[in-house]
Amino acid sequence: MVLGIAAAAAALVFGIRVRREPRRLGNAVWLGIAVVLGGLWLLGRLSGAGWPQAVAFLVVAVLAASAVLVLPWALMANGVVMWRRESHNVANLLSLLAGIALFGVFALATTTVAVGHGPWFVAAALSLLLVAGYFAFLFAALLAYSALYGRIGRRTRADAIIVLGSGLLGDRVPPLLASRLDRAVECLRKASGPDPVIVVSGGQGPGETVSEAVAMSAYLRAAGVPAERILVEDKATTTEQNLSYSVAVLDAHDRGGAVLAVTNNYHVFRTAVLSRRLGLRLNVVGARTASYFVPSAFLREFAALLAQYRRTNLAAGLVLAALPPVLVLFANR
């Protein structure tokens, strides 16, 4: 009964927060809390219910086994694919590193159960598992809410459209960036204003012979977008700069009204969170991304969101890590 009330309360808080401001990172946490509490309440309700209880525990067992046996291998396989198809940098190795880290956590848990070298060894292992569990919870909650946000935030009618850059191949627009530009063209056709514009945003990075904005502008003109409908912002090198510099370009051209930012689907929620932190009133929509690219890309987004709220996450991690040793210390007094 208590769990059911707590789950309902968490769901209510989540609903109110989303209604007031869907671009808040805390919404994902409240969604995760509501789901966990609701799941525990459901399992409690099924206790002694015969075959429904057996089915529920079977589902939980299958999910747990998949996490242990399938997920690490899948992440490492994705990391190999990313290394072969994309540039060789640390960001594209995130899925491989995550898979290896999961194997390490599972190996430690197994060793602790099998060997158990005294209370302090167990406490250290529990500290690591608690911290890993905390970040796993955050990751799952963010993944779920990001998918939900991508559906509740699909307002594509706007007076101005900002396309965020994502890197070039020399002076060529790669498929990832092309998907954003194609999505922007679709949104331009549905635009609400009489003379909508597209702001292409992106500076020139290492290995690029022109700025991203220049290459994006050429791509749009080749796709049939009139040059007078394109505004160029060629200084930004981060998502935050993409947003703030592009809004400044719109202000300089006296362009008001509804603004829409276009990025890839995995990047939508973090872009929305950033726009809120910058005090910008705009909607964000996503373009499709190659399936093999999504796991590593979302891990990168997750790491960036953790960094944005690093003080909160660091404090939570330290508290969870300290809890088992403190309990052992008090037990031995």
Q: Which residue has the tokens 């092309």?
A: 178
Q: Which residues make Cβ contacts (< 8 Å) with residue 277, sequence separation at least 6?
A: 308
Which residues lie below 8 Å from residue 188, measured CB to CB, with a gap of 6+?
161, 196, 198, 225, 229
Flag whether pLDDT at 161 surpasses 90.
yes
| More confident site: 190 or 280 | 280
pLDDT score for 152: 78
Which pLDDT does position 197 carry in this prediction? 94
Model confidence at 181, in pLDDT bands (50, 70, 90)? Answer: very high
Rounded distance, CA 68 to CA 153, Å?
34
Rg of the chain over Cα atoms, rounded to whole angstroms, equals: 23
As given in the structure block, the two tokens for residue 244 are: 């703030």
Mean pLDDT, residues 210-219: 95
Does 210 have pLDDT greater than 90?
yes
At 60 the pLDDT is: 65
The CATH-assigned architecture of domain 160-289 is: 3-Layer(aba) Sandwich (3.40)
CB count in 10 Å sphere of residue 166: 20
Per-residue pLDDT, averaged over 54-69, amounts to: 67
How is residue 308 written in tokens?
A: 């944005």
pLDDT category at 294 given cuts 50, 70, 90 is confident
**pLDDT tens digits, residue range 19-51?**
999 999 999 999 999 998 988 887 777 666 666
d(CA 270, CA 224): 30
Greater model confidence, 220 or 101: 220
Q: Give the Å distances, CA to CA, from 137 to 32, 103, 235.
A: 7, 17, 37
Give the Cα separation of 91 and 238 in Å (integer): 15
Instruction: State the pLDDT confidence band at 113, using cuts at 50, 70 and 90.
Output: low
Mean pLDDT of 80-107: 82
Beta bridge partners of 86: none
Domain ranges across the chain: 1-69, 78-134+294-333, 160-289
> Could you tell me which residues come within 8 angstroms of residue 152 by beta carbon, excluding any fewer than 6 positions away?
18, 22
Does the structure show a pLDDT above 80 at 90? Answer: no
> If pLDDT is split at 50, 70 and 90, which confidence band does 153 have?
low
Residue 79 pLDDT exceeds 70: yes
Average pLDDT, the chain: 87
Which band of pLDDT confidence, cut at 50, 70 and 90, is reported for residue 89? confident
What's the confidence (pLDDT) of residue 154? 63
Q: How many CA atoms lie within 13 A of 200 on its CB side?
A: 31
pLDDT at 156: 67
Lowest mean pLDDT among 68-72, 249-253, 278-282: 68-72
Using DSSP's 3-state secondary structure scheme, residue 308 falls into helix
Question: What is the DSSP annotation of 9-61?
Answer: HHHHHHHHHHHH-TT-THHHHHHHHHHHHHHHHHHHHHTT-SHHHHHHHHHHH
Residue 38's identity, in one-letter code, is G
Does 107 have pLDDT greater than 90? no
pLDDT of 118 higher than 90: no
pLDDT in tens, 226-278: 999 999 999 999 999 999 999 999 999 998 788 999 999 999 999 999 999 99
pTM, full prediction: 0.84
DSSP state of 293: G
What pLDDT does 222 receive? 95
What DSSP designation does 254 have?
Answer: T
